């Protein structure tokens, strides 16, 4: 009887447990990515990766035809300002919250929000901030932390595109203001 009861408890808990594991998995993986990027390059800063090859292990399925710029943001102390030079080739700016949801995105193709040669500026605010305090394009992140990913096509003359991505910035608003004053 005791064995039967134990087996029933195991089965019941495992049935519920698989959903708890499924809910935890994206968050655990995003936490690991956020921590890795943060430890290596710092939070609220843009890092432009080298062209992916067989040694790339940070993210699964990297594309060798794309230039990636990543910013692990943390809005606990206030908004983050993102400024991006938009190249002629395909370009996109995508925002991911900590459960992997792609909650906002912009592109320069197919009637996208911006065009080649422009500097696209976004103020990224946390769930508790008042979006009305900021002008221009304001994106509200559902979580204080998350990841912003720039993707740009590496096809053709990739040096021009890479330069545009490397000129882009992702900085805490206060830090950016200090930079202007100094």
Which residues contact other proteins (rule: CB under 8 A)?
6, 9-11, 13-15, 17-23, 25-26, 29-30, 33, 52-54, 56-57, 59-65, 89-90, 92, 94, 96, 99-103, 105, 107, 109-110, 112, 147, 149, 151, 153, 155-156
Residue with Cβ nearer other proteins (158 or 173): 158
Instruction: Select 2 or 182, whichever has its Cβ closest to other proteins.
Output: 2
Nearer to other proteins, 78 or 112 (CB): 112
Residue 76 Cβ, how far from other proteins at the closest point, in Å? Answer: 22
Contacts of 165 (CB under 8 A, 6+ apart): 48, 67, 69, 84, 85, 87, 150, 152
Residue with tokens 């992702």: 170
H-only helix segments in 55-170: 158-166
Strands annotated E in 75-143? 80-85, 91-97, 102-107, 119-125, 137-140
For 81-91, b/e burial (b = at least 16 CB within 10 A) is bbebbbbbbbb
| Shortest separation between residue 49's beta carbon and other proteins, angstroms | 12
* Cα separations in angstroms, 179 against 44, 48, 118, 119: 14, 21, 22, 18
HSE, CB side, 13 Å, CA atoms: give it for residue 7: 4
Q: Are strands 66-74 and 47-48 parallel, antiparallel or unpaired?
A: antiparallel
CB of 175 to other proteins, least distance (A): 25
Q: What minimum distance in Å lies between the beta carbon of 147 and other proteins?
A: 7
Judged by beta carbon, residue 8 or residue 131, the one nearer other proteins is 8
Nearest approach, Cβ of residue 34 and other proteins (Å): 11
Rounded least distance, CB 176 to other proteins, Å: 25
Closer of 16 and 180 to other proteins (Cβ): 16
The smaller minimum CB distance to other proteins, of residues 78 and 105, is found at 105
């Amino acid at each position: 009887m005791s064995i039967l009861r134990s087996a029933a408890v195991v089965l019941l808990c495992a049935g519920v447990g698989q959903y708890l594991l499924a809910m935890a998995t994206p968050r655990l993986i995003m936490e690991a990515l956020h921590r890795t990027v943060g430890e290596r390059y710092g939070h609220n800063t843009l890092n432009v990766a080298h062209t992916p090859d067989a040694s790339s292990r940070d993210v699964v399925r990297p594309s060798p035809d794309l230039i990636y710029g990543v910013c692990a943001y943390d809005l606990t102390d206030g908004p983050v300002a993102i400024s991006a030079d938009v190249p002629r080739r395909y370009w996109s700016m995508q925002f991911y919250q900590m459960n992997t949801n792609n909650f906002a995105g912009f592109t320069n193709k197919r009637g996208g929000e911006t065009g080649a040669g422009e500097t696209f500026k976004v103020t990224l605010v946390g769930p508790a901030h008042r979006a009305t305090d900021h002008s221009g394009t304001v994106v509200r992140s559902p979580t204080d932390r998350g990841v912003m990913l720039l993707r740009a096509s590496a096809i053709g003359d990739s040096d021009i595109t890479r330069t545009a991505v490397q000129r882009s910035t992702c900085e805490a608003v206060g830090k950016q203001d200090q930079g202007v004053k100094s």
